[in-house]
Amino acid sequence: MADRTTRLAVALGAALVAAPVTAAHAQVFAEFGAGATWSSILVRDTIVDGFTAQPAIAPTLGIAVGTPLGPKYEIAIGLAWAHSDLQQKQTEGSRDIIPLTVWTGTLDLRWRFMPWASAQASIGAVKYSAADEGRQATMFRSDQPLAPTVGLGVRVDHPLGRHFLVALDLEWGLHRFQTQALSEVGFGSRVVNRVFLGATLRWSNAETTR
C-alpha cells in the first residue's frame, strides 16, 4: 500500500511539473496584415432611379492568432477592419454617401500544400458600421447588419529569420447583405462578394522551417 501511494505521489508530482512545461512549449503564432478590400454591390435599383450602392476599395488591417494542428494544418482566429466610403453610382456619375466600416471576424483552417504556399477556408461574421453623422438618411438608419460569412484564400510566404515570415495573401469572402430599411421598401437580400489582397507579417514562438 505504501509503495502504491509513493508511486501515485511521484506520478502526480511529475504531471504537475510537466503541465506548465508543456504549456510553455505550445506552438503559437501571431500575425499582422495590411492591404485593400474590394466589395461587390450592396444595393441595385433598376426600376426607379437606376443606381447602385457599393463600398469604395477599402484600406484594410487585420490581426490573427493561432496554433498548428500538425505538420500541414493550423487553426487561427482573425479580426479585420476595412474602412472606406459607401458610394452611390448613377449614369450621371458617382458620389460618396457615408463613411462605412466593415468588421470581419473569422475562424480559419489552413492547409500547407507546398513548402511555400497554403490554402485557407474560413467561417465567421461580417459587421457593417456606418458613421453616425448622416446615417438616418441612408439604408443603415434602422440597423447596422451582422451577417454570417464563408471564405477561401491562398497564401505564399517566405521566412525572415528564425521566428518571422512574410506572406502575400489573396482572400475571398461571401455573405448576404440586407438592412431593415431596405426590406421596408421592398429590397430583398443580396449576395456580396469581398476580395482582399495584402501582405502579412507573422511571428511564431517555434523556429520557421521549410
Q: State the chain's mean pLDDT as an integer.
A: 86
In sequence order, the 6+-apart residues with CB closer than 8 A to the CB of 15 are none
How would you classify the pairing of strands 73-90 and 93-114?
antiparallel
Question: In whole angstroms, what is the distance from residue 55 CA to residue 155 CA?
Answer: 25
Domains assigned to the chain: 27-204 (2.40.160.20)
Cell representation of residue 132: 453616425
For the chain, how long is the longest CA-to-CA vector?
92
Q: How far, CA to CA in Å, does 135 sit from each of 74, 138, 204?
A: 40, 5, 42
CB 114 within 8 A of CB 147: no
CA 73 to chain centre: 18
* 80-89, 96-105, 112-121, 185-194: least confidently modelled range: 185-194
Helix (H, G, I), strand (E, B) or coil at 115: coil
Question: In whole angstroms, what is the distance from residue 102 CA to residue 54 CA?
Answer: 13
How would you classify the pairing of strands 51-55 and 93-114?
unpaired
Q: Compute and round to an integer the Cα radius of gyration of the chain.
A: 23
| pLDDT at site 210 | 63
pLDDT at 90 over 90: no
**pLDDT, tens digit (0-9, with 9 covering 90-100), for 146-183:** 999 999 999 999 999 899 999 999 999 999 999 888 88
Question: pTM of the prediction?
Answer: 0.83
Where does the chain have alpha helices with state H?
Answer: 2-24, 180-184
Dump strand ranges (E) for 71-135. 73-90, 93-114, 117-130
